[in-house]
């Protein structure tokens, strides 16, 4: 059973170290209980990995393999991170970052998914827009920060715009890919029901594309957080996790606080990733089936 | 007393390709009466699929007319259901078996009616217990039975079947053939069945049409002088079966210079 899923394991590892893989290998003979059991094993391995990592960190810091003022020990950092979670002003900064990221992300989804459906269904429109898309797509969103600051200022609009610019393309491309991968016979079957092209698009093409759209979501949600923090750094925002980290790093002994902040940010990414995995399990389990 | 359900009149289709025009259907004529089971056989690449696509309204022919219950077909007509060879792609993997069967009825009949028809159709193919499974959890033969149940739920006047049993093993195939004959009785259906298997065409049908290779014309119209119910052992050893089978096979060989073996081997 293990041998049939290495690709999935690597894919999810690259995103979050202890994220359980999506529902793969749901074999006919395996019951719900067996599958849950399998998940527990995977989760246990993830936890073991984290513990090893923390132990290594602790050793490296305690024995001064790296200078103490660059890397505080894991134990100190974790305690510090826990304290931060009780700190109202810190939570406010996190909230500000999350809010901006969410706004930008919703914007990206609202543009990419409908556009991806239309471009996926119409070869002509796809051909007409492909070059423009390929021209804009490689622009690094963080590189656009100075321009955006001039246009919309240093506030939430700028952060949301950076997030949207960074997330819209992978979402668009995954949506188009999902639409294109709809089976021809499935579409012919739906048309043979006497359905119009629009009905076929809603009832067959969209559900077929959902797993691919969710793959796009999985790739981009963590990117959204990274971009938002990056935009706060570079754009000189007044609030948000990025500007908070920047301020803390300038204080004496601030590196401990920065490390704790980074740990909290990482945990946040993990939570978001878990939410996406749950979504995939709910809406795209069928795409990971093993045909009999 | 028979009435005509389907009339195909001088049906032509030419694909425009970069290599030039390619005529696949070159004037096909035939009728199907209500209650008939008509099989269409022909050599490999004879345009059977093109013919079915035009009949189902998925492809507009470049010439000729198709009339179903007195109405000329211009798009997908009402009263028609189709069963494809590729059951795996034809059943929607994100919907459970029951939801697949009622899918074509969405927005057309009431929820209660949908439920009733789904149960009735699934029972007719012996899969009443499988409604809550996903199709991909079932064997190939069972999946094709689900596809048949879905077609039954649509209560079609005409059921089109495109080599529906070509992808299952021999035993499953015999079972599916008998199941099809049973539900045809039960639901009083008219069936147009495309196959490349001569034995199957004779075993199932009341009439066999044979087609030439492309550009395709009808080469023969052979009535099958066998009564129903049919039986895999007794029908197949009946002299009339053997005779009809040989006649159809001969017609196909004449229509395809490579011989029957070559035609069958290509599949």
> Could you tell me which residue, A272 or B266, shows the higher pLDDT?
A272
Using the 3D structure, point to which of A20, A51, A76 is the last residue of a domain.
A76
How far is Cα of residue B55 from the mean position of the Cα atoms in its chain?
Answer: 11
Residues A30 and A116 placed together within one structural domain of the fold: no
Q: What is the CATH number of domain B4-79+158-265?
A: 3.40.50.300
Name the helix (H) or strand (E) containing A184. helix A184-192
Whether residue B260 has pLDDT greater than 90: no
Contacts of A111 (CB under 8 A, 6+ apart): A164, A168, A172
Residues A272 and A233 placed together within one structural domain of the fold: yes
| Contact call for A28 and B137, based on CB within 8 A | yes
Of A186, A208, A292, the CB nearest to B138: A292
Distance from the Cα of A212 to chain B's closest Cα (Å) equals 14
Per-residue pLDDT at A31:
62
Tokens of B194: 């495309």
State how far the Cα of A245 lies from the Cα of A233, in Å rounded to an integer: 8
CATH of the domain at A107: 1.10.3720.10
| Contact call for A207 and B94, based on CB within 8 A | yes
| Domain layout of chain B by residue ranges | 4-79+158-265, 92-155
Contacts of A211 (CB under 8 A, 6+ apart): A178, A280, A283, A284, A286, A287, A288
Whether residue A48 has pLDDT greater than 60: yes
A122, A177 contact by CB (below 8 A): no
* Alpha carbon distances (Å) from A276 to A93, A113, A155, A217, B220: 23, 17, 28, 7, 60
B231, B242 contact by CB (below 8 A): no
State how far the Cα of A54 lies from the Cα of A42, in Å rounded to an integer: 19
Q: Where are the alpha helices (DSSP H) in B125-238?
A: 140-153, 170-187, 198-204, 234-237
- Total domains in chain A come to 2
* Alpha carbon distances (Å) from A196 to A187, B50, B82, B191: 11, 21, 16, 25
Torsion of Cα atoms, A197 then A202 then A205 then A207, to 10°: -160
State how far the Cα of B156 lies from the Cα of B78, in Å rounded to an integer: 8
| pLDDT tens by residue, B106-145 | 989 999 999 999 999 999 999 999 999 999 999 999 999 9
| Contact call for B94 and A193, based on CB within 8 A | no
Residues in chain A: 292
State how far the Cα of B123 lies from the Cα of B131, in Å rounded to an integer: 10
Whether residue A225 has pLDDT greater than 80: yes
State how far the Cα of B106 lies from the Cα of B114, in Å rounded to an integer: 8
- From chain B, the residues in CB contact with A193 under 8 A are 76, 103-104, 154
Which domain does A235 fall in, by range?
A: 81-288
B157, B80 contact by CB (below 8 A): yes
- From chain A, the residues in CB contact with B130 under 8 A are none
Distance from the Cα of A289 to chain B's closest Cα (Å) equals 8
**Of the given ranges (A252-266, B80-94, B163-177, B192-206), which has the lowest mean pLDDT?**
A252-266
| Contact call for B136 and A292, based on CB within 8 A | yes
Whether residue B213 has pLDDT greater than 90: no
B194, B52 contact by CB (below 8 A): yes
* Alpha carbon distances (Å) from A277 to A151, B72, B155, B184: 37, 51, 41, 46
A211, A251 contact by CB (below 8 A): no
| pLDDT tens by residue, A193-219 | 999 999 999 999 999 999 999 999 998
B33 DSSP β-pair partners = B4
Contacts of A251 (CB under 8 A, 6+ apart): A257
| Contact call for B76 and A191, based on CB within 8 A | yes
Residues A275 and A208 placed together within one structural domain of the fold: yes
Residues A142 and A230 placed together within one structural domain of the fold: yes
pTM, 2 dp = 0.81
Is the CB of B63 inside 8 Å of chain A's CB atoms? no
Residues A8 and A115 placed together within one structural domain of the fold: no
Residues A161 and A190 placed together within one structural domain of the fold: yes
* Three-state SS at A260: helix
N- to C-terminal Cα separation, chain A: 15
* Reported ipTM: 0.87
Residues A64 and A88 placed together within one structural domain of the fold: no
**Of the given ranges (A89-93, A149-153, B27-31, B183-187), which has the lowest mean pLDDT?**
A149-153
Assign A61 a pLDDT band (cuts: 50, 70, 90): confident
Tokens of A280: 């995939």
Tokens of A158: 């700028």
Residues A278 and A166 placed together within one structural domain of the fold: yes
Q: Taking residues B239-265, what's their average pLDDT? A: 74
Contacts of B211 (CB under 8 A, 6+ apart): B28, B40, B41, B42, B43, B46, B47, B48, B51, B217, B218, B219, B255
State how far the Cα of B165 lies from the Cα of B149, in Å rounded to an integer: 15
Using the 3D structure, point to which of A76, A94, A124 is the last residue of a domain.
A76
Given the DSSP bridges, would you call strands B63-68 and B37-41 parallel, antiparallel or unpaired? unpaired
Per-residue pLDDT at B13:
94
Residues A51 and A131 placed together within one structural domain of the fold: no
B22 DSSP β-pair partners = B15
Residues A103 and A66 placed together within one structural domain of the fold: no
State how far the Cα of A278 lies from the Cα of A104, in Å rounded to an integer: 22
Using the 3D structure, point to which of A28, A56, A76 is the last residue of a domain.
A76
Is the CB of B138 inside 8 Å of chain A's CB atoms? yes
Per-residue pLDDT at A32:
65
A107, A141 contact by CB (below 8 A): no
Q: Taking residues A27-52, what's their average pLDDT? A: 78
Mean pLDDT of chain B: 90
Residues A215 and A253 placed together within one structural domain of the fold: yes
- From chain B, the residues in CB contact with A185 under 8 A are 84, 86, 89-90
Per-residue pLDDT at A26:
42
Residues A85 and A72 placed together within one structural domain of the fold: no
| Contact call for A192 and B58, based on CB within 8 A | yes
Omega before B229 cis (within 30°)? yes
Of B76, B88, B93, the CB nearest to A286: B93
A91, A239 contact by CB (below 8 A): no
């Amino acid at each position: 059973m293990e041998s049939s899923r290495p690709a999935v394991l690597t894919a999810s590892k690259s995103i979050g170290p202890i994220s359980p893989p999506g529902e793969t290998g749901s074999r006919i003979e395996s019951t719900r209980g067996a599958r849950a059991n399998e998940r527990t094993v995977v989760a246990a391995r993830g936890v073991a990995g984290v513990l090893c990592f923390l132990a290594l960190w602790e050793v490296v810091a305690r024995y001064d393999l790296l200078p103490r003022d660059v890397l505080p020990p894991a134990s100190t950092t974790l305690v510090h991170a826990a304290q931060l979670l009780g700190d109202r002003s810190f939570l406010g900064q996190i909230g500000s970052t999350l809010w901006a990221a969410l706004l930008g992300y919703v914007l990206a989804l609202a543009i990419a998914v409908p556009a991806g459906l239309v471009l996926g269904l119409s070869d002509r429109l796809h051909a007409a827009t492909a070059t423009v898309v390929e021209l804009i797509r490689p622009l690094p969103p963080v590189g656009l920060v100075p321009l955006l600051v001039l246009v919309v200022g240093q506030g939430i609009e700028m952060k949301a715009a950076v997030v949207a610019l960074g997330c819209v393309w992978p979402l668009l491309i995954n949506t188009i890919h999902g639409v294109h991968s709809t089976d021809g016979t499935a579409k012919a079957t739906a048309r043979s029901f006497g359905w119009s092209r629009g009905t076929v698009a809603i009832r067959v093409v969209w559900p077929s594309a959902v797993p691919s759209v969710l793959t796009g979501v999985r790739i981009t949600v963590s990117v959204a957080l990274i971009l938002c923090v990056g935009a706060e750094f570079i754009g000189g925002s007044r609030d948000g996790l990025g500007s908070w980290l920047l301020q803390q790093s300038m204080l004496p002994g601030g590196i401990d606080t920065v490390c704790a902040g980074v740990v909290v940010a990482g945990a946040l990414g993990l939570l978001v990733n878990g939410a996406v995995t749950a979504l995939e399990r709910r809406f795209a389990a069928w795409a990971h089936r093993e045909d009999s | 007393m028979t009435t005509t359900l389907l009339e195909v009149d001088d049906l032509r289709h030419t694909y425009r390709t970069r290599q030039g025009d390619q005529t696949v259907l070159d004037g096909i004529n035939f009728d199907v009466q209500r209650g008939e089971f008509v099989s269409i056989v022909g050599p490999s690449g004879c345009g059977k699929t093109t013919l079915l696509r035009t009949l189902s309204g998925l492809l507009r022919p470049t010439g000729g007319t198709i009339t179903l219950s007195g109405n000329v077909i211009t798009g997908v007509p009402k009263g028609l259901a189709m069963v494809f060879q590729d059951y795996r792609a034809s059943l929607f993997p994100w919907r459970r078996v029951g939801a697949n069967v009622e899918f074509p009825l969405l927005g057309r009949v009431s929820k209660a009616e949908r439920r009733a028809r789904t149960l009735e159709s699934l029972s007719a193919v012996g899969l009443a217990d499988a409604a809550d499974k996903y199709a991909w959890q079932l064997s190939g033969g069972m999946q094709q039975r689900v596809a048949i149940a879905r077609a039954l739920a649509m209560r079609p006047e005409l059921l089109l079947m495109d080599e529906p049993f070509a992808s299952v093993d021999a035993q499953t195939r015999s079972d599916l053939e008998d199941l099809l004959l049973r539900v045809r009785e039960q639901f009083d259906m008219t069936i147009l069945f495309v196959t490349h298997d001569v034995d199957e065409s004779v075993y199932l049908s009341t009439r066999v049409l044979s087609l030439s290779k492309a550009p395709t014309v009808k080469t023969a119209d052979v009535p099958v002088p066998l009564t129903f119910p049919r039986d895999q052992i007794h029908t197949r050893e009946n002299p009339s079966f053997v005779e009809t089978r040989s006649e159809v096979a001969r017609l196909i060989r004449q229509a395809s210079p490579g011989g029957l073996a070559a035609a069958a081997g290509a599949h």
